[in-house]
Amino acid sequence: MQIADDTDILALYRARDQKAIAETDKKFGSLCRRIAQGILGSHEDAEECCNDALFRLWEAIPPAEPQNLGAYCVTTVRNIACNRRAKQKTAKRGNGELPVMLDELAECVPDRASETPLSALEMKAMTDALNRFLGTVSPEARTMFILRYWGGMGITDIMKKCGAGRSSVKMTLMRTRNKLKAFLREEDLL
């Protein structure tokens, strides 16, 4: 059976057709489960996060009209998984990778912890800038960056997924972070 494209799936959501959920899961479910499992370290928790994400998509679309359904879906799952992980308060956060990943990005992305209308606008500007930035880097660098910082994958998993060596992955990530830092400075977001 052929998997529907994003436009068809979004049309199903707008028509409030429950096939939208099945098609979304068919197209993005595997990736979303891997991302959630990378953050949570549990297959069962990852399944619950994916189910929660599908429910949120059902509630959000419409009125939301994502330009990239895959990115919207993955971001929703990642946010749910991160929130669940924060609630768990265990010692093994993200298989030991989450604190490392956050430290790596600390120099590039400013802390926006407070929840105010201004911080929401700043977060929107940061998100838009990050999306523009990712469009400027090579597909290989973009893939590694997304797998690391949105997918929660460790260096070894990225090596396997991208067919690259450890030093190549680390160097690509470091260079991409440095480019991001410079880009955000140019955008006056740092």
- 3-state DSSP assignment of residue 188: coil
When pLDDT is averaged across residues 137-158 and rounded to a whole number, the result is 87
Q: The whole model's pTM is what?
A: 0.49
| Together in a domain, 81 and 147 | no
| Together in a domain, 13 and 48 | yes
Look over the chain and give the mean of its residue pLDDT values, rounded to a whole number. Answer: 81
pLDDT of the residue at 62: 85
pLDDT-based confidence at 101, cuts 50/70/90? Answer: low
Those residues whose C-beta lies under 8 Å from the C-beta of residue 11, and which sit 6 or more positions away, are none
Structure tokens at 79: 């946010």
| Together in a domain, 64 and 141 | no
Does the structure show a pLDDT above 90 at 84?
no
Decide: 26 and 3 in contact? Cβ < 8 Å: yes
| Together in a domain, 69 and 125 | no
Domain count, the chain: 2
Residue 160 belongs to domain spanning:
97-190
Decide: 7 and 51 in contact? Cβ < 8 Å: no
pLDDT over 70 percentage in the chain: 80
DSSP state of 97: T
Output 189 or 178, whichever has higher pLDDT.
178
| Together in a domain, 110 and 51 | no
pLDDT-based confidence at 92, cuts 50/70/90? Answer: very low
| Together in a domain, 88 and 112 | no
DSSP state of 2: P
- 127: domain CATH number? 1.10.10.10
| Together in a domain, 104 and 86 | no
Does the structure show a pLDDT above 70 at 105?
no
When pLDDT is averaged across residues 84-91 and rounded to a whole number, the result is 66
Spatial distance between the Cα atoms of 171 and 166, rounded to a whole number of angstroms: 9
Spatial distance between the Cα atoms of 86 and 66, rounded to a whole number of angstroms: 27
Domain end: 39, 64, 92, which one?
92
Does the structure show a pLDDT above 90 at 113?
no
| Together in a domain, 104 and 28 | no
| Together in a domain, 47 and 105 | no
pLDDT-based confidence at 4, cuts 50/70/90? Answer: confident
Write the pLDDT tens digit of every residue in 15-63.
998 898 999 999 898 989 998 988 888 888 889 999 999 999 898 888 8
Spatial distance between the Cα atoms of 59 and 80, rounded to a whole number of angstroms: 15
Decide: 98 and 86 in contact? Cβ < 8 Å: no
| Together in a domain, 5 and 27 | yes
Task: Tell me how far CA of residue 111 lies from CA of 15, 27, 35, 49, in angstroms.
Answer: 39, 33, 23, 25
pLDDT of the residue at 124: 75
Write the pLDDT tens digit of every residue in 148-188.
887 778 888 899 888 999 999 999 999 999 998 898 888 88
CA pseudo-torsion sign 116, 104, 108, 75: negative
